[in-house]
Homo-oligomer: A and B are copies of this chain.
């Protein structure tokens, strides 16, 4: 694969990680990257902080500009260029220059699809009105920031209580808005079990979010083409602006039209090397599947860490190296004001769907030695297999110092550890950082009684 022509569709985390890595592996490769927006390699995860004015300018979220890719990496990086068709048989893409409106055709030897995901937006009356926002690209984040800066909305409604919903609720609270959050399920954070989700619901109330649980969006009230309210099955909530945090869907229409096989939730099927077929097609990031190492099934999880890892693996292989991406264990973390929320592995619902015989325990502990100042509450839940005691999942809700503890459980999941193995771990202890038994070990000591 020395030399040849690599075309990358999508200029954010996965696409540009891959392009940069391919360049390092192979100086002779021709690399062209097409990006619809004006920006490359920005932190999509940072968008709520741009809105919340924790981050002052959009530029701070950009790790590498198109110019940098051109100059430092010799990657022909073309922003405002949208790939509109893939011709798999002839190894060509048709590209539209969005500023000039012209289309052209570009050949490739290898093609990496890194088109990301888009926020889910239901087809409901009023959904196209001004003042309704989803967060995906840097431009979408800039639009929300500008809305808050310039229109000075007083009341916001966030629809959906997942990561983006929670982080946007925090951002808008920080900007001084009244924030209501509508959630279809009985608790926010449906990637946690309901008992742990209830702690997050309470945390949201504690920071001043008006929570409407077990309600679902039925439409929007509008005035002069602008949103004025969110209509649920039970009420109408007045709104000067609305943020949709109802999850994302892989952006795979292009791949689908080209006949590239799709899998879970219409994400592109990939193998461990990130190949999406036999015709020089590769995929990485939020548009692609991952393999879940605990359920042993393909999943679609749109997260920056995974996108970066997949990008590096794809780039290594595209540059002629040899790398594989073994998979994920479902780790994720978020912050709502002073509260920290983390999860890894499988939840009760997921385990029940798989028909596994599991048990669990929930413990309360402290983030530091009990006598140390600012020792805060941390609740840890561990799920383990009955009989074997193998760790299956973990969830944490607490204050400062709580969330990153999930990494021990994530590492233990990768290693196939039992809860006894976790109890035996030589974890670090000093009074400013932990009780003498780390809370994850206290949880393991509790759950082992039920094995």
State A412–B410 Cα separation when bound (angstroms). 11
**Across the interface, which residues of B come within 8 angstroms of A437, CB to CB?**
305, 308
Chain B's closest residue to A414 (CB) is: B425
A433 with B404: CB separation less than 8 A = yes
1/0 per residue A221-245: CB within 8 Å of B?
0000000000000000000000000
| Interface stretch (choices A27-35, A257-265, A332-340) | A332-340
| Interface stretch (choices A41-49, A198-206, A207-215) | A41-49
A404 with B401: CB separation less than 8 A = yes
| Interface residue? A255 (CB, 8 A) | no
B428 with A344: CB separation less than 8 A = yes
A407 with B432: CB separation less than 8 A = no
| Interface residue? A125 (CB, 8 A) | no
**Across the interface, which residues of B come within 8 angstroms of A305, CB to CB?**
426-429, 436-437
B46 with A431: CB separation less than 8 A = yes
B371 with A429: CB separation less than 8 A = no
State A308–B308 Cα separation when bound (angstroms). 40
| Interface residue? A421 (CB, 8 A) | yes
A309 with B43: CB separation less than 8 A = no
| Interface stretch (choices A53-61, A71-79, A107-115, A143-151) | A53-61
Most chain B CB neighbours (cut-off 10 Å) among A369, A404, A424, A430: A430
Q: In A425-451, which residues have CB < 8 Å from any B CB?
A: 425-434, 436-438
State A45–B371 Cα separation when bound (angstroms). 11
**Across the interface, which residues of B come within 8 angstroms of A413, CB to CB?**
426
State A63–B421 Cα separation when bound (angstroms). 26
State A427–B308 Cα separation when bound (angstroms). 12
| Interface residue? A88 (CB, 8 A) | no
Instruction: Kindly provide the distance from the CB of A336 to the nearest chain B CB, expressed in whole angstroms.
Output: 10
Chain B's closest residue to A49 (CB) is: B431
| Interface residue? A8 (CB, 8 A) | no
With A427-B407, A428-B407, A432-B335 as given contacts, are A55 and B303 in contact (CB-CB < 8 Å)? no
State A167–B372 Cα separation when bound (angstroms). 14
B430 with A45: CB separation less than 8 A = yes
1/0 per residue A319-346: CB within 8 Å of B?
0000001111111111100001010100
1/0 per residue A397-413: CB within 8 Å of B?
00001011111101111
> Which 7 residue pairs of A and B lie closest in terms of their CB atoms, listed nearest first?
A415-B415, A333-B428, A60-B371, A411-B411, A305-B429, A331-B426, A328-B426
Q: 9 A–B contact pairs at CB < 8 A?
A: A45-B369, A45-B429, A305-B437, A306-B426, A332-B428, A403-B433, A407-B428, A410-B427, A414-B415
